Structure 1
Amino acid sequence: MENIRESAIKFVFTSGIGWILDFGIYIILSKYFGWEVLYANFCSAIPSISFVFIVSTSKIFKNKKTKVSLSCKYLIYFTYQMVLILSVSYIGQVLYGVFINLVKIPFILAYLKIFIKIIITPITLILNFLFMNILIEKI
């Protein structure tokens, strides 16, 4: 149990760095270029995927030596991420559509795309930790 807790802490820290990269790109795409949440979130997440995978497989999780190579695991992880990011980006776009019509506070409206990104982040963090743990240590 201690090993899982330690891995989770390290993964949250590593994902946090990846999230900062992701979030910075997201702000540029959504706020300054006016991209919709769906597209901005999808494109901004891609660079952090490789970062989190590389650090996680070399510093956090013990890569179980199996017939599945690390590069194959990366392809599995990348495919999983594309599906997850597309799904969560769609959810973010739907939430944005709902809140843009309900919220009347100018400050919140001005930063609504950023608030949506913050709302969907815990979902991806938890799912990514569980998936990465299974992929790297169990498969």
Structure 2
Amino acid sequence: MEASILIGILTAVACFIAVRVKATIQFDDSLDTFMLHGVGGTVGALLTGILAYKALVPGDYFPLCAKILEDSGHFGLFIAQLKAVILTYGFVALGTAIILWILGALMPMGVSIEEEERGLDFVAHGEEAYDPMTN
């Protein structure tokens, strides 16, 4: 129980810091997708490897790490979680690249500078996000 609370607290702090860093470096991720899901999922997965109860993880669950898991506690589970995180990042990168390639073949993948300066709400929807007269 304490481990799950610790994972939640540390993951929330990591996500909060990531969102602040994103704002500081002005990274364009309007929905904080990576800052929340990417950072939160990565930190949560790695902390699970560190804080999981060894008694609940069968020794043969990670056949390549079973000896390490026996000898050094959570190190084997952490390595397995790290491998899963790296594999997931690769899978997501490849999937995103394929989706962008298909969409790029079907439609333009951005807006012109003029459209961006005018405002995407007006260009895409014919509406203003706010009243420019009050600004």
The normalised TM-score by structure 2 is 0.39
* Structure having greater relative contact order (Cα 8 Å, sep ≥ 6): 1
Structure 1 or 2, whichever has the larger Rg, is 2
The normalised TM-score by structure 1 is 0.38
